[in-house]
Amino acid sequence: MSREVKVANLTLGGKRIYVQSMLNTLAGDHDAAIIQAKALEEAGCDILRLSVPNEASLETIRRLKKAVSMPIVADIHFDYRLALASVKAGVDKIRINPGNIGSDEKVKAVVDACKENQIPIRIGVNGGSLERDLLEQYGAPTPQALVESAMRHVRLLEKFNFYDTVISIKSSNVQNMIKAYRLLDQICDYPFHLGVTEAGTKEIGIVKNAIGIGSLLADGIGATLRVSLTADPVEEIAAGYQILRALDLLEGACQLISCPTCGRTKIPVIEIANRVEEALRKNRSGLKVAVMGCAVNGPGEAREADIGIAGGNGEGLIFKKGEIIRKVPEEQLYDALMDEINKMTKEVANGQ
Ligand code: SF4
């Protein structure tokens, strides 16, 4: 169990895991920032971060606060005055790496401003920006070194009586990242922001993030996540939700069970499965839906499905909980399945 930390109206450390992303529009380009922020909000982004490398970004914060309703996080490096100004501009959370903010007095100034405005701070430790003494001591950004760096910063904030802290200790090495968070979880109860940093382009990046973030979430570790991808940030949100969905951590999300197809497949399983997946994306009935290629193994293998189809020769079967309820021509299979799904979704909504 982790301690709860409020970010605007969201509670990190509670039951729900929040998905976040970061703007990649050029700092100071307010219009581009707002267009992207709206696209991210539409995609389901719960928390939005932006880099604040200059004064122009402060105006972006002010405009974002009016344009979107998700909490906004300012990402600060080096200049503590930009952190103070971001607080004034209305951000909901500050991400700093206290190691590069400078003296303890500067960190204290940020802490005091955050405390006064009830704004949490994320300590973001990265394998690539570890303090020199820890690198020398450990010889590399090992999990122990990352944890020690994070705890050093946590203690500094605690020295100033600040406890609204969220921690991330990201590494581009998936194994190190998993080990580091697990170690940290044993010694502190602050909520964690999970992520694999510099994970790469979409395909490999999603795999790395799913393994790293997913392993930790499966352990019950993590309050919020960012899938970092060298791609459109909207893709990060989609991937984040797929990770939660795969682990049954997305309340009400539907699960699609579909067979891998084989020599017995006589209906377009791949096409139907893709269409059903798309149609279920925003459905929150919690239904398990199966798309199976044949009746030989289909209904039996997908017995746990609430509703499903199994292909035949020019026709298909609709089954509920493993029991066949209808036979329909192949070309009507998708529509017939969707009719049943829509009926069942209404029943769930009406509590039947
Ligand atoms: S359900 Fe049928 S078609 Fe699909 S993989 Fe299994 S045996 Fe093959």
Same domain, 13 and 161: yes
Q: Give 310 Cα–ligand 1 centroid separation in angstroms.
A: 9
Residues 156 and 183 in one domain: yes
Q: What string of DSSP letters covers 40-101?
A: HHHHT-SEEEEE--STHHHHHHHHHHHH--S-EEEEE-S-HHHHHHHHHHT-SEEEE-GGGT
Do 188 and 317 belong to one domain? no
Mean pLDDT of 60-69: 98
| Together in a domain, 201 and 261 | no
CA gap 201, 344 in Å, rounded = 38
Claim to verify: residue 110 and residue 32 sit in the same structural domain? yes
List the domain range (segments joined by +) for residue 290: 255-349
Query: Is 146 in contact with 180 (CB distance < 8 Å)?
Result: yes
Q: Which atom of ligand 1 is nearest to the CA of 262?
A: 8
Tokens of 350: 């009406």
Which protein residue's CA is at the shortest distance from atom 5 of ligand 1? 261
**Residue with the nearest Cα to atom 8 of ligand 1?**
262
Per-residue pLDDT tens digits for 136-185: 999 999 999 999 999 999 999 999 999 999 999 989 999 999 999 999 99
**Ligand 1 center to residue 301 CA distance, Å?**
9
For residue 261 and ligand 1, the question of a CB distance below 6 A is answered with yes
The ligand 1 atom at the shortest distance from the C-alpha of residue 292 is 1
Chain-centre distance for alpha carbon 297 = 35
Beta-carbon count within 10 A of 351 CB: 5
Q: What is the pLDDT of residue 243?
A: 97
In the chain, the DSSP E strands lie at: 5-7, 10-12, 18-22, 47-51, 72-76, 93-96, 121-126, 165-170, 193-194, 224-226, 255-258, 288-292, 307-311, 315-320, 323-329
What does the alpha-carbon distance between residue 30 and residue 340 come to, in Å, rounded to a whole number?
46
Q: What is the CATH number of the domain that holds 78?
A: 3.20.20.20
CB proximity list for 156: less than 8 A, separation 6 or greater: 98, 104, 107
The residue out of 246, 276, 296 marking a domain boundary is 246
Pick from 257, 259, 269, 301 the residue to mutate for probing ligand 1's pocket: most ligand atoms within 8 Å of its CB.
Answer: 259
CATH number at residue 291: 3.30.413.10
Number of other residues whose CB lies within 10 A of the CB of residue 157? 23
Using the 3D structure, point to which of 193, 214, 246 is the last residue of a domain.
246
Tell me: pLDDT of 217 over 70. Answer: yes
Mutate to test the pocket of ligand 1, among 257, 266, 294, 317 (most ligand atoms within 8 A of CB): 294
Cβ of 259 less than 6 Å from ligand 1:
yes
Whether 260 lines ligand 1, by a CB cut-off of 6 Å, is: yes
Altogether, the residues listed in the chain come to a count of: 352
Per-residue DSSP letter, 321: T
Residues 244-271: tens digit of each pLDDT = 999 999 999 999 999 999 999 989 999 9
Is residue 83 domain-shared with residue 231, that is, in the same domain? yes
CA–CA separation, 179 vs 188, rounded Å? 15
- The pLDDT, as a whole number, for residue 64 is 98
- Boundary of a domain, candidates 246, 266, 285: 246
Q: Do 152 and 260 share a domain, yes or no? A: no
Q: Does pLDDT of 68 surpass 90?
A: yes
Give the span between the Cα atoms of 91 and 71, in whole angstroms. Answer: 7
Ligand 1 centroid to residue 345 C-alpha, Å: 27
pLDDT at residue 134 in the model: 93
The Å distance, Cα 294 to ligand 1 centre, comes to 5
Q: Cβ(26) to ligand 1 under 6 A?
A: no
The verdict on the CB of residue 265 being under 6 Å from ligand 1 is: yes
149 and 292 both lie in a single domain? no
The burial class, CB within 10 Å (0-12 / 13-18 / 19+), for 53 is: middle
pTM of the model: 0.92
Mean pLDDT in residue range 84-103: 91
Are 29 and 146 in the same domain? yes
Whether residue 142 sits in one domain with residue 116? yes
Q: How far is the CA of 214 from the centre of ligand 1 (A)?
A: 28
> Does residue 300's CB lie within 6 angstroms of at least one atom of ligand 1?
no
pLDDT tens string 270-303: 999 999 999 999 899 999 999 999 988 777 777 7
**pLDDT confidence band for 129 (50 / 70 / 90):** confident
Closest to 214 in 3D by CA, of 189, 186, 247: 247
pLDDT in tens, 200-211: 999 999 999 999
Distance, CA of 156 to CA of 131 (rounded, Å):
15
Given a contact cutoff of 8 angstroms between Cβ atoms, the answer to whether 67 and 57 are in contact is: no
Whether the CB-CB separation of 227 and 242 falls below 8 Å is answered with: no
Mean pLDDT check: name the lowest of 33-47, 212-226, 314-328.
314-328
Strand order in the sheet with 288-292: 255-258, 288-292, 307-311, 315-320, 323-329
- Report which ligand 1 atom has the smallest distance to the Cα of 310: 1
8 Å CB contact between 61 and 90: yes
Query: pLDDT of 297-335, one tens digit each?
Result: 777 777 789 999 999 888 999 999 878 899 999 999 999
Nearest residue (by CA) to ligand 1, atom 2, is 294
pLDDT in tens, 3-28: 999 999 999 999 999 999 999 999 99
pLDDT at 1 (0 to 100): 60
Both 55 and 177 in one domain: the answer is yes
SS3 content of the chain, % helix, strand, coil (to 5): 45, 20, 35
Number of domains in the chain: 2
- Contacts of residue 87, defined as CB under 8 A and 6 or more positions apart, other chains included, come to 94, 110, 113, 114, 117, 119
Distance from the alpha carbon of residue 253 to the mean position of ligand 1, in angstroms: 25
- Give me ligand 1 centre to Cα 241, in Å: 28
Binning pLDDT at 50, 70 and 90, where does residue 101 land? confident
> Please, which pLDDT band fits residue 242 given cuts at 50, 70 and 90?
very high
Q: For 219-241, what is the mean pLDDT?
A: 97
Does 239 share its domain with 315? no
- Ligand 1 atom nearest to 295, measured from its CA: 2
